[in-house]
Amino acid sequence: MSLTVEKIERDGIQSQSYLLNIGPSHPAMHGVIRFIARMDGERVEKIEDTEIGYLHRAFEKDCEQVGWGMAFPYTDRLNYVSPLINNCGYAMAVERLLGITVPERCEYIRTILSEISRITDHQTCIAASAMELGAFTPFIYLMKAREYLYELVEEVTGARLTVSYLRVGGVKADLPDGWLDKLPAVLDKVDKVNIEVNKLLARNRIFIDRMKDVGKISREKAIAYGFTGPLLRSAGVDFDVRRATPYHVYDRLDFDIPIGEVGDNYDRYLVRMEEMRQSDRIIRQCLGQIPNGSVTVTP
């Protein structure tokens, strides 16, 4: 960090603000962004400049050197908190290019695992946000609940984070025997923890004061900046790809799209909490519909 101090006058009182050069650093200390913040004491008055793009992992270049089916390990690492969803996005893109239609059972498996990934991703976001505000108990609760789901993912894929489970035209293997039978009980445990965490946070005075009206983004800016997912929906934009252009089996499922009102950090928290409930709802519907059959196309 470096400091640049400037003298200012407010209401006849001599004071000073200063520019604080933060970064380049990731909020989790990995190194991807730089802020130039104008400070008044410890209060951020304005972000004078933001520079992004410090981290380049060369995934695109690496993928140019391997075959279509060998890129899945790279998609795992685009967001290692929900790698299965990234596996799905890449697989569907290649399948569309090749005109491949995957078996129906495969589509259900992809949907179930994608929604499990969505829950673990949201749990991580909420847990980290709470911990940064000093609420360590919800962090512990959510990480424990995430373990329940990671254990299921590991049974299916053989890994917890970098799973590389999908294949162009299907998945690498069917679900283990008895896996679908144990899933409802695990969902019940996860839902119980999520409810408990929401009780600890949603009406907590400290949590609300530190989240509400902080980081507000308007609907227009969210669209202009190309925001997606809960960040976009928290700004009041009623758009979810699963509903707008359904893939897998989402057009057969009944679920709601939570929408925020003011686009602040508190809205983003509420949207993620509700999306986890909807993911639970989606998975349970899939359990009642999933057919037997092949999980990959026949060569």
Within a domain: residue 48?
yes
Query: Do 15 and 72 have their domain in common?
Result: no
pLDDT tier for residue 270 given thresholds of 50, 70 and 90? very high
Query: Do 19 and 128 have their domain in common?
Result: no
Within a domain: residue 59?
no
Query: Do 115 and 234 have their domain in common?
Result: yes
Q: Can you give the residue range of the structural domain that contains 48?
A: 2-52
Within a domain: residue 203?
yes
Query: Do 185 and 116 have their domain in common?
Result: yes
Query: Do 112 and 36 have their domain in common?
Result: no
Interacting residues of 232 by C-beta distance below 8 A, sequence separation 6+: 222, 223, 239
Query: Do 131 and 252 have their domain in common?
Result: yes
Query: Do 198 and 85 have their domain in common?
Result: yes
Mean pLDDT on 209-218: 93
Within a domain: residue 201?
yes
CATH code of the domain in which 209 resides: 1.10.645.10
Query: Do 109 and 40 have their domain in common?
Result: no
Within a domain: residue 237?
yes
Per-residue pLDDT tens over the stretch 5-52? 666 566 666 667 888 888 776 655 555 788 889 888 888 888 998 887
pLDDT tier for residue 1 given thresholds of 50, 70 and 90? very low
Within a domain: residue 61?
no
Query: Do 17 and 105 have their domain in common?
Result: no
Total number of domains constituting the chain: 2
Within a domain: residue 209?
yes
